[in-house]
Amino acid sequence: MSQDISLEEIIKKIINKTGLSREEILKAIDENINKVNGLLTQVGAAFILAEKLKVNIDMESFETLPDEDPSIVPIGKIQEGMRNINVVGRIYRMNPVKTFQRVDGRKGRVAAVFIQDESGKIKVTLWDQKAMLVQNSLSMNQIIAIYNGYVKRGLNNQLELNVGNKGGIKPKPPGIDENQYPEVTIKTCKIGDIDKTIEMCSVKVKVVDKLPIKEFTRKNGTTGKIGKCVIADETGAMNLVFWTNDISEFEKLQVGHTLEIENGSVRENNYSNQIEMQFGPSTKIRKTNDDIEIKQTSTTNIGKSVSGEIIDDFSNIPERGFSLTLKGKVIGKSDVTNWSKNGRDGAVARLTLQDEGLHSLTVVFWTEHIDSFNKLSIGDLVEITNAYTKVNRNNVEANLSKNSTVNTHGKQKVSPTVMKIDQLKENQALLTVEGRILQVDEPKEITTRTGSNIKLVNFTIADESGAINCVAWRDQVDEITALNTGDLIGLKNVKSQFSSFLNALEISLTRDSKVYIPND
């Protein structure tokens, strides 16, 4: 089996086809590498140059299938541990090229195509030079032959066919009966019907919100970009995600646009566990003049999704809400935190709103709305428009979007409410609870996501109506550990929340909470 094509072979082919000098070609290769901050090898950059110059390097450099009719393994019969196998299938999905850094410091590339035949489907993982084929040569519905592939378990313990240095790919292989590989048809879905069993689908939707582009740093030190907008139809709403190479497509979109999205790639977000759609190599977006009616509330198969609703009851906030109007009373404000990342400066602050039922909601203000945050004070009755909600650390919180507005409508006195333990409900704030200490656990120290270490202690209190676990933080830990079992205790300005660990309500002390000794 021959090795991958070398840089010199590519240069010779370009010279022969174009008449360019070696020096001109090397200069153009270096320019391609610099454009992507060194993420391409010289060979990879040469492939891109050849593609631009319409020099057919890829097709000429594919290793061909053996002259004798190879043994083709049906996808449905592929088993773990198989090596040097030949497989033919039709592409029904493609993942973009990703770069990574190997242990020895060298840069690598990986991409994937998903193929199917009459017997089944499988993911094909392409490494390094062959990964570039996804970007330059392969396309949806194309029939390809994989030879000398090897099989192993990949993500979610699923079988994957890998194509390394000893393997090869042959698009449009000769002697193949295309009828054995039916044309791929992508189904058209309503958002409310999309779940994790669907890999790709087409939708007709309206853009109801658009979030600012964010920059991030990869593990290898390079930077990337991500853009998100919220799309909705009459059955639900979901995020549409764009990554670095497709940000220009994201920038074309505006709130209110009606879109026909073809071949959207469906994913489950590993952080939020929510289903979202991603713009991939085979995705196409077309703007239409059609209007779509957006239902106020809709439910998907994986959780509640709300768009355009007015919310003044925080007892059951949707995990995925978009274009929401929030009404409540300001009962808490954090300090403004300034940050700097990837050369950009910004700020973030958190507001606590309370409804008439004493349920609370955290609202996050970002850079463009910090001035509005600073103008608010405790007791203000506020109305916030175009907010969105998401799950953060197992709690639902609201965020202001770029298009949000903040208005005040009067003021009310804020005073703590004394509650019996059996009266507590989830997500209530500004509470006062009194009881006796039943148990104080050993204090713990945890490391936050920012790298700082903080102390916490769990303790249990009880009154005549019941008992509940409580959590104290930082300096409050010393106050709690100084008390003994049976002592009276009062907790002022605390909040109630659901503990997924205990599967029950608990009380959490905040920075504004006070520990006191009630009168016996």
Rg (CA), the chain: 29
The answer to the question of residue 385 being in a domain is yes
Of the residues 395, 411, 427, which one is the last residue of a structural domain? 411
- For residues 404 and 444, state if they share a domain: no
**CB-based contact 457:472 (threshold 8 Å):** yes
The answer to the question of residue 332 being in a domain is yes
Neighbours of 420 (CB within 10 A): 13
182 versus 387: the higher-pLDDT residue is 387
Residue 386 and residue 382: Cα distance in Å, rounded?
13
For residue 27, the enclosing domain spans: 7-61
Q: What is the pTM of this model?
A: 0.47
Out of 18-22, 171-175, 364-368, pick the least confident: 171-175
**CB-based contact 149:167 (threshold 8 Å):** yes
The answer to the question of residue 2 being in a domain is no
The answer to the question of residue 166 being in a domain is yes
Is pLDDT at 301 greater than 90 in this prediction?
Answer: no
pLDDT, mean over the chain: 83
Over the stretch 85-105, which tens digit does the pLDDT of each residue have? 889 999 988 887 887 777 777
- For residues 272 and 333, state if they share a domain: no
Number of structural domains the chain divides into: 5
- For residues 282 and 336, state if they share a domain: no
The answer to the question of residue 282 being in a domain is yes
Is pLDDT at 299 greater than 50 in this prediction?
Answer: no
The answer to the question of residue 68 being in a domain is no
- For residues 295 and 318, state if they share a domain: no
- For residues 172 and 90, state if they share a domain: yes
pLDDT confidence of residue 412: 87
- For residues 317 and 340, state if they share a domain: yes
pLDDT confidence of residue 67: 39
Over the stretch 172-201, which tens digit does the pLDDT of each residue have? 887 788 888 888 877 899 988 888 788 889
- For residues 401 and 386, state if they share a domain: yes
Of the residues 280, 300, 320, which one is the last residue of a structural domain? 300
pLDDT confidence of residue 38: 58
- For residues 405 and 425, state if they share a domain: no
Is pLDDT at 365 greater than 90 in this prediction?
Answer: yes
- The values of phi and psi at residue 129, to 5°, are -55, -40
pLDDT confidence of residue 307: 56
Of the residues 411, 440, 467, which one is the last residue of a structural domain? 411
**CB-based contact 253:279 (threshold 8 Å):** no
The answer to the question of residue 185 being in a domain is no
Identify the CATH number of the domain in which residue 129 sits: 2.40.50.140
- For residues 206 and 295, state if they share a domain: yes
- For residues 329 and 402, state if they share a domain: yes
* Partners of 498 in the β-ladder: 505
Is pLDDT at 274 greater than 80 in this prediction?
Answer: no
- For residues 224 and 286, state if they share a domain: yes
The answer to the question of residue 70 being in a domain is no
- For residues 407 and 421, state if they share a domain: no
